[in-house]
Structure 1
Amino acid sequence: MYRFRPPHADLLLALAQTTVAVLLGQESAAQGWSALDLTGYLLIGLVNLPGAFRTRAPVTLCLVVHAAWVVFITAGYWPVAGSFGPMLAVYTVASLRPLRTAVACSVLMGLVWVYAGLLARDASMAAVVAQAMVWPAALCRFGVVARRSAKLARRLREEQAERARRAVGEERGRIARELHDVVAHHMSVISVQSGLAQFVFESDPPTARAALGTIADTSAEAMEEMRRMLRLLRSTDDRDGDNAPDAPMPGLARLAEMVERVRAGGVPVELRVTGTRRPLAPGVELCAYRVVQEALTNVLKHAPGAPTVVELRYGPHQVTVLVVNEESGTGEGVIPAKVAGGTGHGLIGMRERAKLYGGTISIGPHGGAGGYEVRLDLPTSPRAVRPEDDGKR
């Protein structure tokens, strides 16, 4: 069952202001008003103690408190002794409710203040009216500022939470891309080689042994990349040498190894390099390496035996990677139609990688014999140029 309990901070505040009001009320007689008696103490409690529930129903509480304050003043007690509850009520309304409601409550407090001045014996009405205008307006202003500050704080918290969710999503996507690229490529090679070994196990033992050797090398490389990636993900400080990977992530220097491994899987692959080789940013090299890896994985899956060319072009301000197969006995190429439509995780990973490093990627048919082409253009300097401009230099 729900229990209607006031917040602890509001309860303590209500008790504190009630105590202060009781102590201040001892000066009532000296100020020319009736001394506090049992009725006066009860009215002080009725004016101040409801403040413990001020955030539950601020407008209702404001009306109740002001009504009790009017009774307190009408009974002849010093108005100042009972003013703390109404002040807190007006501030609370301004901090939790729209400005129109806050202004109405401020006007109510000002009217009660003027009413108290009318009952005073020697009060200066000019001073009373000024106070009735200034104090409620100041409390309303403070409450509005507090409401805006709280709203801004909530918005900042929401934005921080959203940024954290986006960061987690991006990190999950990055991990998913790495896992897909590592596992899919190597498992495709292992699958092809294991099928070959099983097929020629009795008729051609040397070929079977070569296939098993390729499986062993490929699985070892996959495990090495997985361990490297896991060490990187577990690292909490990039400066911590004990947690940092003990070898760099794959780059363009290892394209020849990849091509040889795919060639051993039965795909005639040729690697061509044009332009002057030069070291590139690790992220750029990894992006190009993974795109070639995914393209060759699709060749193994969807176009086994199709002649394929991997071309790496170094330009002054960019590097271009082309993976092209001219034909396929199954009628599909580097990226078959069902994958080129955009449903494959590998294709999504390619595009995300290219976008991350400011590059462009195009995937589509090549020639008229059923082949496909993957083209990746990556800038290698802050001043990125268009592919056609780079080719003219």
Structure 2
Amino acid sequence: MPISAASLVRRVSAVNPLLLDGALALALVVGTWLWEMYDPGKGRPPDPLSLSLTVLVNAPVALRRRAPVAVLVVSTGAALVYHMLGYHLGLNSMGPLVTLYTLAAHRPWAFTLAGAALIVTEWTQASVRQPGVALWSALGQSLLVAAYTVGAGTSTRLLAERTRQLAVLADQLHREQDAAARRAVTHERVRIARELHDVVAHHMSVISVQAGLGRYVALSDPATAHATLGVIADTSHEALAEMRRLLSILRIEADDEDEGLYSTAPGLRNLEPLAERIRAAGLPLTVIVEGEVRPLPPGLDMCAYRIVQESLTNVLKHAGRARVEIRVTYGPATLALRVTNDGAAATGSSRSRGHGLIGMTERVRLYQGTINAGPLPLGGFEVLAIFPLSPPDDQPQEASS
């Protein structure tokens, strides 16, 4: 089975660098010695001294990654002595060049320039000893070879630095993605908690009022007591249905195509059943819708419903036997919700930063709206929320009722 070039590179990269450099040094020593033995050229014939110098030039290459400066000095010095003694002028030049490449790839520019000067000096003196080679030609050739080697090493260093930077950026991106995922989970938990608060607070307030009324008239007015039990049953059933919807959302997988659970989310279309439940609790309530009713985005629709629901819950808790008015106004570019009551001054307690008002404020801000809640000059309490809307032609086509 043939091995691809990429696979070969990965396998070589996985090998210990010291083993690779040792193999390279051994190949340089053996190759240089064999070349000198079979092609001595016009220089001094090979002898034990030339073998010793050849080993001294090339063997240190095995340590080129660990101590490139020392290796370059030793290798270049041995090559200089080798050529000055008159041995083969074309050999023992590759070891210093390999070390210069390593120096350029792993050390600062000062060391690289000093190493390049050593290489140019050694190459020039070796070349100029050859017959018919002028000094300027030898110097030019040496400068060209040294420049090419330094350029290759510098390119490798820049590539390695770029790879490290990309690794740092990838790690930073991974951390940011994890943080964003954690924030999304937190936001979803807050949203679910807000939904559960609205559902439980409103329905339990209605159930509490109805249970108190039923207990009060249980013996004196059985018909009214029976009616309150019906309201309690309907309210608890609705609360369970909404809580089941919220808990079911938590179990929906990312690829779940069943949107039925989402489509049951309440909206302004449910205002009348909400109003009937409040009336059954004994509070006179009027719903007024102004302007041209049109479909709303699902999130905004549910947000508006929750604002009204929480406002009515506060009325049940704080306003006593108050008359309530819900006014929904569809404007060209806004949706206004106004919930007012004529209850006692104790209604002002809902100005405290409890979960209800905080939840309403967060919901409204989510849709770039504004909300004001406070006592009226002549008594009672008002909650006014205003949401920006797109022009009617830009509204979603899905029906909200």
- Per the normalisation by structure 1, the TM-score is 0.74
Of 44, 65, 68, the residue aligned with 1:65 is 68
- Secondary structure at 2:346 match in 1: coil
1:380 aligned to 2:389? Answer: yes
CA 1:296–1:80: 2 relative to 1, 3 Å: farther
Q: Residue 55 of structure 1 corresponds to which residue in structure 2? A: none
Cα deviation, residue 219, structure 1: 1.2
Is the Cα contact below 8 Å between 1:251 and 1:285 reproduced in 2?
Answer: yes
Partner Cα distance (2:28, 2:257) in 1: 64
CA 1:109–1:210: 2 relative to 1, 3 Å: same
Q: Which amino acid aligns with 1:266?
A: G
Of 289, 307, 331, the residue aligned with 1:315 is 331
Per-residue Cα deviation, 1:79-135 (whole angstroms, up to 9, x for no partner): 63366577456545xxxxxxxxx6xx2330231232134334524333434425534
Q: Residue 28 of structure 1 corresponds to which residue in structure 2? A: 32
1:47 aligned to 2:57? Answer: no
Gaps of 5+ in 1: 1-7, 51-63, 93-101, 385-393
Is the Cα contact below 8 Å between 1:190 and 1:215 reproduced in 2?
Answer: yes
Of 202, 206, 209, the residue aligned with 2:223 is 206
- Secondary structure at 1:322 match in 2: strand
Larger Rg over CA atoms: 2
Is the Cα contact below 8 Å between 2:199 and 2:242 reproduced in 1?
Answer: yes
CA 1:75–1:200: 2 relative to 1, 3 Å: farther
- Secondary structure at 1:27 match in 2: helix
Partner Cα distance (2:239, 2:326) in 1: 21
Partner Cα distance (1:27, 1:89) in 2: 23
Q: Residue 197 of structure 2 corresponds to which residue in structure 1? A: 180
Q: Residue 369 of structure 2 corresponds to which residue in structure 1? A: 359
Of 172, 181, 195, the residue aligned with 1:164 is 181
Q: Residue 249 of structure 1 corresponds to which residue in structure 2? A: 265
Structure-to-structure mapping, 1:213-228, within 5 angstroms = 213-228=230-245
Partner Cα distance (1:47, 1:246) in 2: 66
Q: Residue 229 of structure 1 corresponds to which residue in structure 2? A: 246
| Alignment length (residue pairs) | 344
Cα deviation, residue 192, structure 1: 2.5
- Secondary structure at 2:208 match in 1: helix
Structure-to-structure mapping, 1:1-12, within 5 angstroms = 12=16
Cα deviation, residue 180, structure 1: 1.8
1:81 aligned to 2:91? Answer: no
Is the Cα contact below 8 Å between 1:231 and 1:244 reproduced in 2?
Answer: no
CA 1:261–1:109: 2 relative to 1, 3 Å: same
Identity %: 38
Q: Which amino acid aligns with 1:225?
A: E
Gaps of 5+ in 2: 1-11, 41-49, 83-91, 128-137, 394-401
Q: Residue 3 of structure 1 corresponds to which residue in structure 2? A: none
Cα deviation, residue 15, structure 1: 3.2
Of 113, 119, 130, the residue aligned with 2:116 is 113
Is the Cα contact below 8 Å between 1:363 and 1:375 reproduced in 2?
Answer: yes
CA 1:365–1:20: 2 relative to 1, 3 Å: farther
Q: Which amino acid aligns with 2:16?
A: L
- Secondary structure at 1:327 match in 2: coil
CA 1:230–1:21: 2 relative to 1, 3 Å: farther
Q: Residue 331 of structure 1 corresponds to which residue in structure 2? A: 346
Is the Cα contact below 8 Å between 1:326 and 1:367 reproduced in 2?
Answer: no
- Secondary structure at 2:186 match in 1: helix
Q: Which amino acid aligns with 2:114?
A: L
Is the Cα contact below 8 Å between 1:313 and 1:319 reproduced in 2?
Answer: yes
- Secondary structure at 1:362 match in 2: strand
Per-residue Cα deviation, 1:262-282 (whole angstroms, up to 9, x for no partner): 222233322222223333332
Partner Cα distance (1:228, 1:368) in 2: 41
Is the Cα contact below 8 Å between 2:75 and 2:95 reproduced in 1?
Answer: no
Q: Residue 15 of structure 1 corresponds to which residue in structure 2? A: 19
Partner Cα distance (1:246, 1:147) in 2: 46
Partner Cα distance (2:317, 2:343) in 1: 14
Cα deviation, residue 213, structure 1: 2.0
1:122 aligned to 2:126? Answer: yes
Q: Residue 98 of structure 1 corresponds to which residue in structure 2? A: none
Is the Cα contact below 8 Å between 2:293 and 2:330 reproduced in 1?
Answer: yes
Is the Cα contact below 8 Å between 2:71 and 2:99 reproduced in 1?
Answer: no
CA RMSD of aligned residues (A): 3.4
CA 1:15–1:233: 2 relative to 1, 3 Å: same
Partner Cα distance (2:256, 2:184) in 1: 22
Partner Cα distance (1:366, 1:9) in 2: 78
Q: Residue 273 of structure 1 corresponds to which residue in structure 2? A: 289
Is the Cα contact below 8 Å between 1:17 and 1:84 reproduced in 2?
Answer: no
Cα deviation, residue 379, structure 1: 3.1
Is the Cα contact below 8 Å between 1:110 and 1:136 reproduced in 2?
Answer: no
Partner Cα distance (2:115, 2:183) in 1: 53
Partner Cα distance (1:161, 1:382) in 2: 38
- Secondary structure at 1:28 match in 2: helix
Cα deviation, residue 309, structure 1: 1.1
Partner Cα distance (1:303, 1:82) in 2: 93
Is the Cα contact below 8 Å between 1:276 and 1:314 reproduced in 2?
Answer: yes
